[in-house]
Copies of this chain bind each other. A is one copy, B any other.
Amino acid sequence: MTGNLPDCSAFLDAKGQVLRELPDFARDAETLITLYSMMVKTRVFDAKAIALQRTGRLGTYGSSLGQEAISVGVASAMSEADVFLPSFREHGGQLWRGVSMEELLLYWGGDERGNDFAGPRQDFPVCIPVASHFPHAAGVGLGLAHKGTGGVAVAIAGDGATSKGDFYEAMNVVGVWELPAVFVINNNQWAISMPRAEQTRAETLAQKAVAAGLPGEVVDGNDVIAVREATNRALDRARAGQGGTLIECLSYRLSDHTTADDASRYREDAEVSRHWKTEPLVRLRTHLVAEHGWSKDDEEALLRDSRTETEAAAERYLAMSPQPARAMFDHLYATAPPDIAALAKEMGDG
Across-interface contacts of A256 in B (CB, < 8 A) = none
Q: Give the interface segment out of A98-106, A149-157, A203-211, A218-226.
A: A203-211
What are 21 A-B pairs at a CB distance below 8 A? A163-B172, A164-B169, A165-B165, A165-B166, A165-B168, A165-B169, A168-B169, A175-B200, A176-B200, A176-B201, A200-B212, A200-B213, A201-B212, A201-B213, A201-B243, A202-B211, A202-B212, A207-B211, A208-B210, A208-B211, A210-B211
Interfacial residues, chain A to chain B (CB-CB below 8 A):
163-166, 168-169, 172, 175-176, 178, 198-203, 207-208, 210-214, 243
Decide: A210 and B210 in contact? CB cutoff 8 A: yes
Across-interface contacts of A176 in B (CB, < 8 A) = 198-201
Q: Which 3 pairs across A and B sit closest by C-beta, in order of nearness? A: A165-B165, A201-B213, A175-B201
Residue on B nearest A174 in the bound complex, by CB: B201
CA–CA, A28 and B78, complex, Å: 64
Question: How many copies altogether?
Answer: 2
Across-interface contacts of A165 in B (CB, < 8 A) = 164-166, 168-169
CA–CA, A14 and B179, complex, Å: 38
* Closest CB in chain B relative to A51 CB, distance in Å: 37
* Closest CB in chain B relative to A332 CB, distance in Å: 29
Across-interface contacts of A168 in B (CB, < 8 A) = 165, 168-169, 211
Across-interface contacts of A203 in B (CB, < 8 A) = 213
Across-interface contacts of A169 in B (CB, < 8 A) = 163-165, 168
Decide: B198 and A202 in contact? CB cutoff 8 A: no
Decide: B207 and A202 in contact? CB cutoff 8 A: no
Residue on B nearest A205 in the bound complex, by CB: B211
* Closest CB in chain B relative to A237 CB, distance in Å: 14
Across-interface contacts of A213 in B (CB, < 8 A) = 200-203
Further 20 A-B residue pairs, CB within 8 A, beyond A172-B202, A176-B199, A207-B211: A163-B169, A163-B172, A164-B165, A164-B169, A165-B165, A168-B168, A168-B211, A172-B200, A175-B201, A175-B202, A176-B200, A178-B201, A200-B212, A201-B213, A201-B214, A201-B243, A202-B210, A207-B210, A210-B211, A211-B211
CA–CA, A246 and B288, complex, Å: 49
* Closest CB in chain B relative to A329 CB, distance in Å: 34
CA–CA, A169 and B169, complex, Å: 10
Across-interface contacts of A211 in B (CB, < 8 A) = 168, 202, 207-208, 210-211
* Closest CB in chain B relative to A184 CB, distance in Å: 17
Across-interface contacts of A210 in B (CB, < 8 A) = 202, 207-208, 210-211
Most buried by B among A176, A199, A203: A176
CA–CA, A142 and B194, complex, Å: 20
CA–CA, A208 and B172, complex, Å: 10
* Closest CB in chain B relative to A69 CB, distance in Å: 26
CA–CA, A171 and B205, complex, Å: 14
* Closest CB in chain B relative to A142 CB, distance in Å: 15
CA–CA, A345 and B337, complex, Å: 44
Across-interface contacts of A175 in B (CB, < 8 A) = 200-202
Across-interface contacts of A198 in B (CB, < 8 A) = 176
Across-interface contacts of A243 in B (CB, < 8 A) = 201
Across-interface contacts of A199 in B (CB, < 8 A) = 176
Residue on B nearest A175 in the bound complex, by CB: B201
